[in-house]
Structure 1
């Protein structure tokens, strides 16, 4: 390997190391890209979604008790479990809506959908109850 090639290789690797450090800093300062406030069983609740490439989970926060639950694991009606941090190539959250008794959201897992409902009981966010749906 000649000296020009070696110098070019070192310059490229140095730049890659700098860009990696920069992206790690961004992960630490991850801000929500979507915030929706609503009511469930007369409790003020906030839905937080982040850049799913950095943080694939969503968060529901109970405002009155300053308690939150990060939702990463979703189970369909047949008991199949999907952990959005490890089991899928990507996820998108579609149509998040608060109703009087439940928060609903559809997970687009790029090969199928999970239509999920999340409820509150005794000031606690319950695990999502989801239905598998093929892509139309």
Structure 2
């Protein structure tokens, strides 16, 4: 019985430790799209949204990256995809003249977002609320 109790305690300690390391682990990319904006190579990275609902943009030449989790609509309402929605999907990421455009599927509505890009900065998303058709 004493041996069983030690085994259970050790198992709980190991389980607790592995749960903590999951928070700091790096997430594996599910989708990567590379494009050119101006003269800058930009990489859009999406992960398994159940593990990491945010996206990451990276300006390769400038060595700048930004993880985007907050998206604001035209009324000023901000959605934090980590805690404000049950699920998110990112549809049709497209590079435009000075931005990345992507549609967020938030299950009950869409946000069409434009993320401004320059050769050294990644701006905040500017989004427009869109009803589901």
TM-score bracket, normalised by the shorter chain, equals 0.7 to 0.9
Residue 4 of structure 2 is matched in structure 1 by none
Q: How many residues align?
A: 125
What is the Cα deviation at residue 100 of structure 1?
Answer: 2.2
Residue 110 of structure 2 is matched in structure 1 by 113
Q: In 2, Cα distance between the equivalents of 1:32 and 1:26? A: 16
Contact 1:40–1:119, Cα closer than 8 Å, also in 2: no
Contact 1:27–1:54, Cα closer than 8 Å, also in 2: no
CA RMSD of aligned residues (A): 2.5
Contiguous gaps of at least 5 residues in structure 2: 1-7
| Residue correspondence of structure 1 range 84-95 to structure 2 within 5 A | 84-95=81-92
Q: In 2, Cα distance between the equivalents of 1:57 and 1:25? A: 16
1:32 aligns with 2:29: yes
| Residue correspondence of structure 1 range 121-136 to structure 2 within 5 A | 121=118, 123-136=120-133
Residue 59 of structure 1 is matched in structure 2 by 56
Q: In 2, Cα distance between the equivalents of 1:126 and 1:98? A: 14
Contact 1:91–1:110, Cα closer than 8 Å, also in 2: yes
Contiguous gaps of at least 5 residues in structure 1: 1-10
TM, length-normalised to structure 1: 0.79
